[in-house]
Amino acid sequence: MSRDQVRSVDRWAIEQIGLPGIALMENAGRTCAEFIMDRLGRKAMCRICIFCGTGNNGGDGYVIARHLRNAGHTVHVVLCGDREKVRGDARINLDVLGALGEDIRQLDPGRADMPGLVASLAQGADMVVDALFGTGLQGPLREDYRMLVEAINALAAPVLAVDIPSGLDCDTGRPLGAAVRADWTMTFVAVKKGFLACSDAGEYTGEVHVASIGIEPRTTT
């Protein structure tokens, strides 16, 4: 699917079918959490560091965190940006996570010590989750977020990208200044156009898996 097709599917599911956006987010996040637990295998308690943006991709991250927490794993959620910019379904899931007692760290990507802080927050993590930006991202990353992406790429832990590696253009498959280099990408509904359009996209997506959001169109337009 292209960026426009992704938006079309979301509108169809919410406006025509009547499935609320928060249900789509719940299904997406739960599927990612199940994938993470499957990859971590039989280890009883794992540490997962989840970097969340202020949009709906970050909302998926909060759902992932809740399900991993419910399963007994240790999650470290890092909100990268202004908390007041988190709105709608993402805000609901952020508030739920907070009400459960989860300590949510806030990170200003513009901090001079940001790369070192990212390394400290993710220290000892069994897996890192990239839930910064989704398929709607267009135009080059701001310099502070470019540096954040590079800091995530410098981590030793394996990385799961939620829907698309942050910084990768959905339609072209090329980085918008920089992009997360994931080991796995759990993408929703269908493979994104850019994953196939660019021969280098696999360097960023890693192994691609397609997840259901609970409803599937027979065709996309």
pLDDT at 219: 56
Q: Is 57 annotated as a binding residue?
A: yes
Indicate if the pLDDT at residue 220 is higher than 60.
no
Q: Is 5 annotated as a binding residue?
A: no
Q: Is 70 annotated as a binding residue?
A: no
pLDDT at 44: 72
CATH number of 3-211: 3.40.50.10260
pLDDT at 218: 66
For the chain, the average pLDDT equals 94
pLDDT at 217: 75
Q: Is 136 annotated as a binding residue?
A: yes
Q: Is 56 annotated as a binding residue?
A: yes
pLDDT at 215: 82
Q: Is 169 annotated as a binding residue?
A: no
Domain boundaries, the chain: 3-211
Q: Is 103 annotated as a binding residue?
A: no
Q: Is 8 annotated as a binding residue?
A: no
Who wins on pLDDT, 43 or 144? 144
Q: Is 204 annotated as a binding residue?
A: no
Full DSSP string of the chain: --HHHHHHHHHIIIIII---HHHHHHHHHHHHHHHHHHHHTT-SS-EEEEEE-SSHHHHHHHHHHHHHHHTT-EEEEEEES-GGG--HHHHHHHHHHHHTT--EEEE-TT-TTHHHHHHHHTTT-SEEEEES--TT--SPPPHHHHHHHHHHHT-SS-EEEESS-TTB-TTT--BSS-----SEEEEESS--HHHHH-TTTHHHH-EEEEE--S---SS--
Q: What is the pLDDT of residues 3-30, one digit of tens each?
A: 999 999 989 999 999 999 999 999 999 9
Q: Which range (4-13, 72-81, 139-148) has the least confidence?
A: 4-13
Instruction: Give me the mean pLDDT over the 100-108 stretch.
Output: 95
Q: Is 54 annotated as a binding residue?
A: no
Sorting pLDDT into bands at 50, 70 and 90, what band is 45?
confident
pLDDT at 194: 97
Q: Is 18 annotated as a binding residue?
A: no
Q: What is the pLDDT of residues 56-71, one digit of tens each?
A: 999 999 999 999 999 9
